[in-house]
Amino acid sequence: MRSAHRVDQVRAAEAALMARLPGGTLMQRAAVGLAATCARLLTRRRGRVYGSRVVVLAGSGDNGGDALYAGAALARRGARVSAVLLAPARAHAAGLAALRAAGGRVVLEQEVGLADFSRADLVLDGIVGIGGKGGLRPEAQPYARAGRAGVVVAVDVPSGVDADTGEVAGAALRADVTVCFGTYKPGLLIDPGASYAGAVQLVGIGLELPAAEVVALQHADVAGLLPVPGAESDKYRRGVVGVAAGSARYPGAALLAVAGALRGGAGAVRYVGTAAEEVVRRFPEALVTEGGPAGAGRVQAWVVGPGGGEGAERALAEALAADVPVLVDADGLTELARLGPGALAGRTAPTLLTPHTGEAARLLAGAENGGSAGGGGGGARPPAADELAAARLGTARRLAAAYRATVLLKGSTTVVADPGGAVRVNPTGTSWLATAGSGDVLAGLAGSLLAAGRSPLDAASVAAYLHGLAARHAAATPGAPVTALEVAAALSTAWNDVRSAAAEPGA
């Protein structure tokens, strides 16, 4: 599991540790780890550190200090290092002295700095780290736009990325590798920030940190959360997932949601709705009923809404009336936005909402207006979907708090937020999942995990993880487009992948 901590948590842990250690120890630890990664990258690129061209972009804080000390270490190994000072009067004095003592050169003119930057073998981005506020300042912006020949290594955080949220106000420096200290930062795991970070490496500096609110699961974590039938299990003990999906207009959504549900570990899938005939023809193992959830017999969790069309209102009401976990997706979410959070108020079993940002905008508007169905409010401007996408962590948390439900916000970095504050960010996504029907498969899969007894946080984060992996497996060649049915079919491979990696020694 990769754990990410907020800046205030890092600062508190740093203060506690610094009180016990000689001054400068933490910066030295950080710089040693940073220099080691840079040396590895240079050796991979050029065969050796000696003679390579390194540029240090140094801002005014300790982030610049880390970069200058690492630059000094590389200069001692024979690299030709120049330090571009973005705030010359406030550069980290001891770091600068170390760099000069090691033979590094200092550049003050932007033209020279940009020319060096463009032809360097390796650039260290030490403009700003966890102390950064707002976007890049004007003097740093040309570096975000400039072409470069070498690799860019971000020190702790790519400059311009908000460490706590991954939001990017204006320009940011795109890194190939980010070396972060003490812990991951949420902004390194969540887009758009994550897309600026490249490969993220963690250097331990001895911080003692509290349990993280924001984590990204890895194979071993997911393997531990997969439902595995015991010797005593029968299909009912393994859980039955009810799928209320599809409509005359969207029969395909029913098939895709069932396809996902069949591969989520529940013992059986019970489909209710107008596509019963098509479902049973395609999936003879599914139980089918026409009508709505109310008369369908007992299930351990409901999935309601994919392709629900005109039937979504009734299906949602009947599913929410059942005292079992309910996953609401697609047309179910549109209906829920119309009703507002009050529609969930009487529930004791948990609810999982799986919006994309457009649906999230409607849900937030519904929460702010107290639901438009009752005719109340209606005045607030609905938040724009692209603004919500740019602030994914905050959006998922706002929704979870407003609806008192677990929220899986889909998109570039799927984020799952529990109303209690825990957040999981999904590392396996691929942009090819933005394909018609892929959300239906995800809904079925997550619902199946709910029926098998997983909590909404676990069900949602495991489903997102497997779904992303499956999309990669489904592609005929890496990075090729995939269809939703192919993603569903590849879910078994994703399960195997996760389980076999976790079974490997040292996993």
- Tell me: does residue 329 bind K ion (CB under 5 A): no
Site for ligand NAX in 200-229 (CB under 6 A): 205
Pairing of strands 80-85, 53-58: parallel
Which CB atom, from 46 or from 174, has the smaller least distance to K ion?
174
Under 8 Å between Cβ of 438 and 484: yes
The one-letter code for the residue type at 463 is A
- Tell me: does residue 44 bind ligand NAX (CB under 6 A): no
Question: The tokens of 71 are what?
Answer: 């630059």
Q: Minimum CB separation from K ion for residue 297, in Å?
A: 57
Binding segment toward ligand NAX, per CB under 6 A, in 93-101, 130-138, 266-274, 328-336 = 130-138
- Taking CB under 6 A as the criterion, the residue among 10, 316, 319, 399 binding ligand NAX is 10
- Taking CB under 6 A as the criterion, the residue among 117, 143, 181, 271 binding ligand NAX is 181
Which CB atom, from 165 or from 426, has the smaller least distance to ligand NAX?
165
Question: The tokens of 442 are what?
Answer: 């995800």
- Tell me: does residue 60 bind ligand NAX (CB under 6 A): yes
- Taking CB under 6 A as the criterion, the residue among 89, 109, 111, 133 binding ligand NAX is 133
* Number of residues engaging K ion in binding (CB under 5 A): 5
Report how far Cα 4 is from the mean position of its chain's Cα atoms: 11
Q: Where are the beta strands (DSSP E) in 326-466?
A: 326-328, 351-353, 406-409, 415-417, 423-425
d(CA 220, CA 68): 37
- Tell me: does residue 449 bind K ion (CB under 5 A): no
Q: Comparing C-alpha atoms, which of 402, 294, 275, 387 is closest to residue 343?
A: 402
Binding segment toward ligand NAX, per CB under 6 A, in 125-133, 218-226, 268-276, 362-370 = 125-133
Site for ligand NAX in 246-285 (CB under 6 A): none
Whether omega for the bond prior to residue 192 falls within 30 degrees of 0, making it cis, is yes
Q: What residues pair up with 268 in beta bridges, in sequence order? A: 240
59 touches, from K ion, ligand NAX, none (C-beta below 5 to 8 Å by class): ligand NAX
137 touches, from ligand NAX, K ion, none (C-beta below 5 to 8 Å by class): ligand NAX
Which CB atom, from 158 or from 239, has the smaller least distance to ligand NAX?
158
- Tell me: does residue 137 bind ligand NAX (CB under 6 A): yes
Site for K ion in 100-129 (CB under 5 A): 125, 129
d(CA 216, CA 358): 24
Q: Minimum CB separation from ligand NAX for residue 90, in Å?
A: 6
Q: Minimum CB separation from ligand NAX for residue 67, in Å?
A: 8
Pairing of strands 423-425, 415-417: antiparallel
- Work out the angle at residue 50's Cα, subtended by the Cα atoms of residues 45 and 52, and round it to the nearest 5 degrees: 50
Q: Comparing C-alpha atoms, which of 373, 425, 370, 371 is closest to residue 397?
A: 425
Which CB atom, from 180 or from 316, has the smaller least distance to ligand NAX?
180
Under 8 Å between Cβ of 199 and 224: no
All residues at 6 or more sequence positions from 498 whose CB lies less than 8 Å from its CB, including other chains: 219, 222, 223, 226, 465, 466, 469
Which CB atom, from 68 or from 154, has the smaller least distance to K ion?
154
Site for ligand NAX in 434-473 (CB under 6 A): none
30 touches, from ligand NAX, K ion, none (C-beta below 5 to 8 Å by class): ligand NAX
The per-residue DSSP string of 113-175 comes to HHHHHHH-SEEEEES--TT--SS--TTTHHHHHS--SSEEEEESS-TTB-TTT--B-S-----
Q: Minimum CB separation from ligand NAX for residue 125, in Å?
A: 10
Q: Which residue has the tokens 């905008």?
A: 361
How many angstroms separate the most distant Cα atoms in the chain? 80
- Tell me: does residue 14 bind ligand NAX (CB under 6 A): yes
d(CA 287, CA 341): 32
Under 8 Å between Cβ of 189 and 2: yes
Which CB atom, from 95 or from 427, has the smaller least distance to ligand NAX?
95
Which CB atom, from 34 or from 361, has the smaller least distance to ligand NAX?
34
* Number of residues engaging ligand NAX in binding (CB under 6 A): 28
The one-letter code for the residue type at 394 is G
26 touches, from ligand NAX, K ion, none (C-beta below 5 to 8 Å by class): ligand NAX
131 touches, from K ion, ligand NAX, none (C-beta below 5 to 8 Å by class): ligand NAX
Q: What is each CA distance from 345 to 65, 117, 224, 419, in whole angstroms? A: 52, 57, 32, 14
- Tell me: does residue 134 bind ligand NAX (CB under 6 A): yes
d(CA 303, CA 385): 24
Which CB atom, from 61 or from 264, has the smaller least distance to ligand NAX?
61
Q: Minimum CB separation from K ion for residue 309, in Å?
A: 49
Site for K ion in 145-174 (CB under 5 A): 154-155, 159
Report how far Cα 240 is from the mean position of its chain's Cα atoms: 29
Q: What residues pair up with 301 in beta bridges, in sequence order? A: 241
418 touches, from ligand NAX, K ion, none (C-beta below 5 to 8 Å by class): none
The binding site for K ion (CB under 5 A) comprises: 125, 129, 154-155, 159
Q: Can you give the binding site for ligand NAX, defined by CB under 6 A?
A: 10-11, 14, 26-27, 30, 59-64, 66, 127-134, 136-137, 155-156, 181-182, 205
